[in-house]
């Protein structure tokens, strides 16, 4: 099916790339309980995080403290709950290359390992908030059913934690709730990165045992070191999932084709919105399209949700 594109839409985002993980990881299943926080009436009221902060930004993203009780549109479209009974993603380590992942985030509790400190700072912290959002789209635990008590409530919780059936889960959950996350910091405090940082991050992820590398913060340009790092990953059977375009951190004409963008182990993914339309790719290579706009996930801090993508 061909999906229409609208001028001005972002061609891709890290969330779009990451929501292809059901096909990569296979059928997955949930685990754990959700984080409780004051409910927001509409996902649009949640704080927004972006991949790259404006240069005048001086403060880090603050914890949201809000959640939406609604099931995110992308989750409703992809229906990961339909395949959760078959597998839960146990034993799969997914590296998230971006602004870091806040290890305080309870929706990811116990399943985030921060890569060793690199030149960009601690990977277990996330000033921007984007890396945490991306990690939650992969592995946030599934909410416990509410509004039931006694045997019915226990049965519902058991279903959510184990053999969930389609339509049973409401509210936000990650695509692979029992996968583990390896946080690899490749950006500065504003979310900006370059080919050298990405190359080092890819190698760190491969050496850290990741089977999939989700590039949450792609570069606008490439170089030989980045190409060699991609080849290094491919030679060890590691797949890179990359958004088709990168944010224009220099304030130019908008998103540009992302790097790394090609190779036998690279999936380049364009973003679709709630209306099913795919944003322009700005000349980038596109392998697949997936939900990637108006996404809902966990933000930095112990609890709360944000929007992004």
pLDDT confidence of residue 117? 67
The most distant pair of C-alpha atoms in the chain lies apart, rounded to whole Å, by 61
Strands of the chain (E only): list them.
39-40, 67-68, 93-98, 112-114, 180-185, 212-215, 239-243, 245-246, 256-257, 266-272, 288-291, 295-298, 305-308
8 Å CB contact between 241 and 271 = no
Q: Is a pLDDT exceeding 70 seen at residue 270?
A: yes
Mean pLDDT of 161-187: 74
**14-35+61-308 under CATH 3.40.50.200, yes or no:** yes
Portion of the chain with pLDDT greater than 90, in percent: 38
What are the residue boundaries of the structural domains of the chain, listed by start? 14-35+61-308
Mean pLDDT of 215-221: 92
Helices (H), 174-266: 195-207, 224-235
8 Å CB contact between 257 and 285 = yes
Give the count of beta carbons closer than 10 Å to the beta carbon of residue 274: 14
Mean pLDDT in the chain?
78
Q: Is the pLDDT higher at 77 or at 12?
A: 77
Banded pLDDT at 231 (limits 50, 70, 90): very high
Q: Is a pLDDT exceeding 60 seen at residue 41?
A: no
Banded pLDDT at 290 (limits 50, 70, 90): confident
Q: Is the pLDDT higher at 235 or at 27?
A: 235
Q: Is a pLDDT exceeding 80 seen at residue 173?
A: yes
Phi and psi, residue 20, nearest 5°: -85, 0
The secondary structure of residue 213, as a DSSP letter, is E
Banded pLDDT at 203 (limits 50, 70, 90): very high
Give the torsion through C-alpha atoms of 78, 82, 86, 89, to 10 deg: 30
């Amino acid at each position: 099916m061909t999906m229409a594109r609208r001028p001005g839409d972002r061609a891709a985002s890290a969330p779009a790339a990451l929501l292809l993980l059901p096909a990569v990881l296979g059928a997955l299943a949930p685990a754990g309980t959700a984080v409780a926080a004051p409910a927001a009436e509409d996902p649009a009221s949640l704080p927004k995080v972006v991949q790259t902060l404006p240069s005048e930004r001086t403060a880090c993203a603050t914890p949201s403290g809000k959640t939406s009780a609604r099931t995110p549109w992308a989750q409703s479209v992809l229906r990961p709950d339909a395949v959760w009974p078959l597998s839960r993603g146990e034993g799969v380590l997914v590296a998230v290359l971006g602004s870091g992942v806040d290890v305080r985030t309870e929706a990811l509790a116990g399943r985030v390992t921060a890569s060793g400190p690199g030149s960009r700072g601690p990977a277990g912290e996330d000033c921007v908030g984007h890396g945490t959002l991306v990690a939650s789209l992969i592995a946030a635990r599934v909410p416990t059913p509410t509004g039931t008590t006694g045997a019915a409530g226990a049965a519902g919780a058991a279903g959510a934690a184990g053999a969930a059936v389609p339509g049973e889960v409401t509210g936000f959950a990650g695509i692979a709730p029992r996968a583990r996350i390896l946080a690899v910091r490749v950006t500065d405090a504003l979310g900006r990165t370059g080919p050298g940082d990405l190359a080092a991050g890819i190698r760190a992820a491969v050496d850290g045992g990741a089977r999939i590398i989700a590039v949450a913060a792609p570069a606008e340009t490439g170089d030989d070191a980045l190409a060699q790092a991609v080849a290094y990953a491919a030679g060890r059977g590691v797949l890179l999932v990359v958004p088709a375009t990168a944010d224009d951190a220099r304030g130019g004409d908008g998103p540009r084709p992302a790097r790394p963008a090609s190779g036998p182990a690279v999936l380049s993914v364009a973003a679709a919105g709630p209306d099913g339309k795919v944003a322009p790719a700005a000349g980038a290579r596109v392998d697949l399209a997936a939900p990637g706009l108006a996404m809902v996930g966990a933000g930095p801090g112990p609890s709360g949700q944000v929007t992004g993508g």
